Amino acid sequence: MGAHGGRVSLLWRCVVRRSVLVTGATSGVGLGVALRLAGAGFDVFATARDEPKAEKLRAVAAECAVGLRTVLLDVADADSCRRACAEVAEATDGGPWALVNNAGVPLVGAVEDLEDAAVRQLLEVNVVGAARMARLVLPGMRERGEGRIVNVSSLAGRITAPGMGWYCAGKAALGALNDALRMEAGPGGVRVAVVEAGAYASAIQGRAADGLAALTGRQTLFGDMYRVAEAALRESGTRLPSAEPVVSAVCRALVARRPRHRYVVGRQAKAGLLADALVPVRVKDHFKRVAMGAPAHPLVEYAARRWCTPW
């Protein structure tokens, strides 16, 4: 068994080949979850958007000495979702025991600077796609009388920052859908949980920075904010923690006898939620503006960028 399986508790090894479908499994949290579960003996179906990415995923799994199966999936495409779920259902005699909704995309920029097409794509991937996948796997879970759905979200779903309005709106919507689904699916034996993570190193920072770089070339009131945020995003990969705690939280939600309804991961996330609940709105707004580039006293700038930035 590879290194990813060696860290798993004995409880995991008691699980007999339960199947798990992991979306967005080619990098970051999705890849970590897929490898960890495969190393623990789960029957993992890891999704990739195209065959070259699927091939790379299989190569990484082989290097880690774990076995998993790849499935082509674009969560923003309804037909692709149906094909992927049908493929998994055929391989598992009815569908996966668990679904990990991890696929997601970033979108940064002021509300007035973002076009409808970009917003629709964000919501299609981060919200509609996750709900669609849940809808497709739920009948099989209910028929067996058990199952798990874990939605991977973010602190951005609970705390809004300037320049991230649509991304935060999508994560907030995912959290609301998670809560409704938990109540609706519970009587059928399906446990639903959400993992809300603080900032961790991933490819999403680079993609968000590229989006901001494109916006800085436009006529906008927020050019200075975008330049500060872009620099912070590109630098963040050198100081942010790894995604390991998020991977562990997702896996705990899958194997716990009674999973929590919500897993908040990281000191930044927990401190941020506490501050957001206690600090007056005007003060919060000021600190968040400073974190995104507004001028202020150096000590205020340091504090704001240390605690208020979403990366």
Enzyme catalytic residues = 167
Is the Cβ–Cβ distance between 32 and 57 less than 8 Å? no
Q: Measured between alpha carbons, how far is 28 from 40 in angstroms, rounded to an integer?
A: 19
DSSP structural state of residue 45: E
CA distance 6 to 239: 27
Residue type, 303: A
Judging by beta carbons within 10 Å of its beta carbon (0-12, 13-18, 19+), is residue 219 exposed, middle or buried?
A: exposed
CB hemisphere CA count around 212 (13 angstroms): 27
Phi, psi angle pair for 245, to nearest 5°: -65, -30
Query: Hey, what long-range contacts does 302-307 have (CB within 8 A, 24 or more apart)?
Result: 305/232, 307/268, 307/271, 307/272, 307/275
| Three-point CA angle 93, 94, 97, nearest 5° | 100
Dihedral angle computed from the Cα positions of residues 163, 166, 170 and 175, in that order, rounded to the nearest 10 degrees:
50
How far is residue 122's CA from residue 167's CA, in Å, rounded to a whole number? Answer: 7
